[in-house]
Amino acid sequence: MSEIGGPIDDGGIAERDDPFTLFDAWMEQARKSEPNEANAMAIATADADGRPNVRMVLLKGVDHRGFVFYTNLESAKGRELTANPNIALCFHWKSLRKQIRVRGPVARVSDAEADAYFATRPKDSQIGAWASAQSRPMEGRFVFEREVAKYAAKYALTKVPRPPYWSGFRVSPLEIEFWRDRPFRLHDRLVYRRDDANAPWHTLRLFP
């Protein structure tokens, strides 16, 4: 069976001119087969002591500039990425038996881009962004519920502005690996690498 848009070469995964074209094809497949969020991805950061941290978030945008997600900048991941602006991502789709890993530096999206995305969120999610001191200790659930009620009342009749501590990060990948399961652990692994965000991509195959 061939990949979308091209034949399979001897290595198994059909190469494209750039990895984003291949990513888009796999994501389109995942949207049709995954029972829940096909755009869920694990993101790995490191704390001040160099200890890794990983959690699931949702991919909110992708183009040739990179992969975008949004968060509270004062959360653990926000603080860690501000101190060490490097990240690893992992998409895994069990229904497809496929995985994509990404590594590269991050940078904040523009305020205009963050404002535009925040405006598309449901109002309850916008209220939650104001109410949650994400990743910090909470005395009890009632504290959070009280904050939700406070901001819900404050913005009951008006649009909810984006909190100054809430924004997005764009990952500019230097490495993207496509992995596909095959019988007897004879998996396909195709890697795209480049030296910087303006450099051309080159590919190589890895032993499984």
Give the chain's radius of gyration (CA, Å): 19
| Burial annotation 19-35 (CB, 10 A radius, 16+ → b, else e) | bbebbebbbebbeeebe
Q: What residue spans define the domains of the chain?
A: 19-121+164-205
Q: What is the pLDDT of residues 76-92, one digit of tens each?
A: 999 999 999 999 999 99
Selected catalytic residue, list 51, 108, 185, 194: 185
Active site residue 185: yes
Q: What is the pLDDT of residues 159-197, one digit of tens each?
A: 999 999 999 999 999 999 999 999 998 999 999 999 999
CATH code linked to domain 19-121+164-205: 2.30.110.10
Instruction: Give this prediction's pTM.
Output: 0.91
| Burial annotation 158-178 (CB, 10 A radius, 16+ → b, else e) | eebebbeebbbbbbbbbebbb
Q: What interhelical angle do 123-131 and 141-154 show, nearest 10?
A: 120
Distance separating alpha carbons of residues 133 and 185, to the nearest angstrom: 44
